[in-house]
Every structure is written in structure tokens, then in C-alpha cells.
Amino acid sequence: MLWYGIMAGIGMAMVMPAQATVEASGEQGFVTLQSVVIDADASTVYGLLASPGRWWSDSHTFSGDSANMTMDLRAGGCFCETLPGAGGPAGSVEHARVVFVQSGKRLRLTGALGPLQTEAVTGALDLALEPVGKSVRVSMTYVVGGYFRSDARALAPLVDHVLGEQLAGLKRAAEAPPS
């Protein structure tokens, strides 16, 4: 359950996207927005989304290893994680469900990520890819609302930080030299 480490990880210096902000927040929800320009084409970046093990942070998984994560890029597809155990899988986690796919342009998921799963909330995570010359701008918006046992305004910057870390990981993976 390392996703819960977001509270402790806030003080650590991390590579962040060029733009990150909590757009709005209140007692019952929040909106975060991240944006980064990646030196790769849209189809390469979009294809990389299907392999979260290459760009999602190990420290923000339930298993401690992002290699256990998958994302099926089709409507109804799962952004899921296998929880390994002795002799086979010990369980699994559905982080979000894919609800909209426009190959190379947009991916939208719904779900309460990480520790938000224990609250009566849901979220819409929208990833938009827009060509910028030979690069692509990836904008990530996460809108979360519902019943929080505590004030959602306190969670908003923490979630924003964690999502920024993931977008920075996507950028690193997409710009890495071929191996």
C-alpha cells in the first residue's frame, strides 16, 4: 500500500512538469491540472500509456512495483495492478476504468486513485495529447468529487503532486534513448 506514501513524499524534491496546479478545491472535491511538453510524437506517447510499468512510480503502487500495472486502451479497459503472492497472484487493484479512447489524441478514465478509494468519491482523469511542432503537449486533468471524511482541499495538493510525478515519469520514458 505504498500509494499512501504521498503524505510523506511531499517534501522530497522531484522533477515536475512545466505546469502543475490545483485549479479548484472545496470540501467535496477538487480539480488538478498538469501539463508537459514531451519530445516525442503523439502516437509514441499514446502507445506508452498502455505500459504504465515503464513510467508510473513504484512508490505509488499497492505492490511496490509498477511492473505489476497494466492499462487496456479501449473503452471498458482496466488500469489495473496485480498484487503478487507466493505461488501466484494474491490479489488485484482496479485503479481506474477507461471510458474514452481517441488514439493518439485523448484518453479518459474514471476512478478514485490510491487512497481516494477508501472515500465515497470518484474521479475523471483526462489525458489530452496535442502536437507542438515535433513534440507533443500532454495535459492531464483530474476532477474528483463526492463525500470526503475530511476536507478535500487538504488532499488536492498531495494528489496534484503525485500525478505530476507520474507525468514526469511519462516524459522521461518517452524521451529515453532506445535500449
Q: Please spell the DSSP secondary structure of 132-154, one letter per residue.
A: ETTEEEEEEEEEEEEE-SS-HHH
Q: What's the whole-model pTM score? A: 0.87
- Please tell me the predicted confidence (pLDDT) of residue 89: 76
- Please tell me the predicted confidence (pLDDT) of residue 88: 74
Is 2 inside a domain boundary?
no
Q: Which CATH number is 117's domain given?
A: 3.30.530.20
More confident residue, 52 or 14: 52
The answer to whether 174 touches 21, Cβ cutoff 8 Å, is no
CA atoms of 137 and 140, how far apart (whole Å): 10
Is 14 inside a domain boundary?
no
Is 24 inside a domain boundary?
yes
Provide the domain limits for residue 137. 19-175
Total of domains in the chain: 1
Is 152 inside a domain boundary?
yes
Is 12 inside a domain boundary?
no
Is 43 inside a domain boundary?
yes
Name the percent of the chain lying above pLDDT 70: 89
CA atoms of 97 and 99, how far apart (whole Å): 6
The mean per-residue pLDDT over the stretch 42-62 comes to 97
CA 29 distance to own-chain centroid: 17
The mean per-residue pLDDT over the stretch 9-31 comes to 69
- Please tell me the predicted confidence (pLDDT) of residue 145: 98
The answer to whether 28 touches 148, Cβ cutoff 8 Å, is yes
The answer to whether 89 touches 82, Cβ cutoff 8 Å, is yes
The mean per-residue pLDDT over the stretch 111-124 comes to 96
- Please tell me the predicted confidence (pLDDT) of residue 19: 63
Is 1 inside a domain boundary?
no
pLDDT reading at 35 higher than 80: yes
The mean per-residue pLDDT over the stretch 92-111 comes to 97
Is 40 inside a domain boundary?
yes
